Structure 1
Amino acid sequence: MYEQILVPTDGSQGSAHVALQAIDLAEKYGATVHVLYVVDDSVRTLLPDMGSSGESLDKRGQEAIDRVTKMASVHGVEATGELREGDPADEILAYAAEIEADAIVAGTHGRSGIERRLIGSVAERLVRHATCPVMTVRLPETDVTVEDADHARDLVEDALADEGYTAEVTGAERQLSVWVVDAETDDESLTVYLDPVTQRTSIVSHQ
């Protein structure tokens, strides 16, 4: 059903959450994720007045692409990246056509009212003009995708089951940039480290 999934990214806060939706979809269907960052040409023309250069935009774009492709790799999903310049919506639609995308997963800031009329919505233009299905995901205020301790425990329980463990999760604590989750089997204690962005788990056994 889905072989080529396009996820445009702008590297903003919460974009990892959007990327994970695309990665989850790709993981389910064995699809390839295509990550696209479009340098807005209208922004580039303002750079000299801002005392900046186009290289900074290109660098930011490549970093955003690399972030998503690494996330895909963590989940065992094939991913490729592309950096382009132009009108974001136009470039996304053109790239979707080039790769024959089966779906586009795009973030939206949820603008409404006057702000929406003045600024416009890239996601809305994609929905109106794309020839493939478009999934819109509202961008949260943070790239953290693990919502709370209960969510961390649920993810760890699933990861342990996938690895063949019959274990009871006994506690979860957020420590700086990682969740530390404790679990017990009949004959060993486990500590599971959970990345709050990629949701990757590392299981350590204490026999």
Structure 2
Amino acid sequence: MYERILVPTDGSVGSAHVALQAIDLAETYGASVHVLHVVDESVRAFVAGFGDESELDDRGEAAVERVAAMAREHGVDVVTAIEDGDPARRIVDYADEIEADLIVAGTHGRSGVERRLIGSVAERLVRRARCPVMTVRLPETDETVADDEAAAAIARDALVDAGIDATVTEVERQVSVWVVDAEGDDDSHLVYVDPVTRRTSIIP
């Protein structure tokens, strides 16, 4: 049903949840995920008048890499791109260029006067895109692993993938990471789980 899924991202808080929706679909259908960040041309022009524009590109790199890391962690093929232009128009054009089957986009859920004055990139995508658009409400946090059960499940999968036979014995949330203790017949392991990207690191 889907071969290429486009995920535009601006690095907003909660965008990891949007990415996970696309990644879950990609896993289900064997699709690739294309991650696009568009540097707003009007913002670049404004910043150019004051000096260094590199921060805009750095933010874009960080935004697409976060989603790419999540896709790779789930074994999904991923392609990243950073473009300049009007965000909604460039996303639509890029979707046409890669022949995307679906766009998965986050929305802030604006309404009323704010919606009329500012508008919504997601709303413009729904109106203009030639392929289906799935909109996902952006939550107020980037975290995608919010409880110890989810962290334990991810750690178990990582251990299995690494060929390690061990049982999770304890899960603790530290400042910026989940720490999972696991015990095997002959040794013990620590599994670190990133609460945003779900990336894991196993320490013997």
Q: TM-score, normalised by structure 2?
A: 0.84
Deviation sequence 1:8-50 (CA, Å, 0-9, x none): 010222222222222222222221111111111222232256x
Provide, for residues 119-145 of structure 1, a one-character-per-residue CA deviation record: whole Å limited to 9, x for no partner: 111111112222222121222223221
**Secondary structure of 2:145's match?**
coil
| Structure 2 unpaired stretches of 5+ | none
How many Å apart are 1:83 and its aligned residue?
1.5
Aligned residues: 204
Show the counterpart of 2:135. Answer: 136
Tell me, which stretches of 5 or more residues in structure 1 are unaligned? none
| Percentage identity across paired residues of the two chains | 66
Q: Compute the displacement of 1:167 (Å).
A: 6.3
Q: For 2:27 and 2:175, how far apart are their aligned partners in 1?
A: 28
Post-superposition shift, 1:158?
A: 5.0
Distance 2:88 2:147 in 1: 34
Q: Is 1:29 aligned to 2:29, yes or no?
A: yes
**Alpha-carbon separation, structure 1, partners of 2:55 and 2:203:** 40
Change (3 A) 1:88 1:172: same
- AA matched with 1:66: E
- Partner residue of 2:71? 72
CA contact 2:109–2:137 (8 Å) conserved in 1: yes
Aligned partners of 2:33 and 2:114: how far apart in 1? 31
Q: Quote the residue 2:46 is aligned against.
A: 46
How far 1:64 moved relative to its partner? 1.8
In structure 1, C-alpha distance between the alignment counterparts of 2:51 and 2:109, rounded to whole Å: 29
Other-structure match for 1:9: 9
User: Any conservation in 2 of the 1:75–1:200 contact (CA below 8 Å)?
Assistant: no
How big is the alpha-carbon RMSD for the aligned residues of Structure 1 and Structure 2?
Answer: 2.5
**1:162 CA drift (Å):** 6.3
Q: Which residue of 2 aligns with 1:61?
A: 60
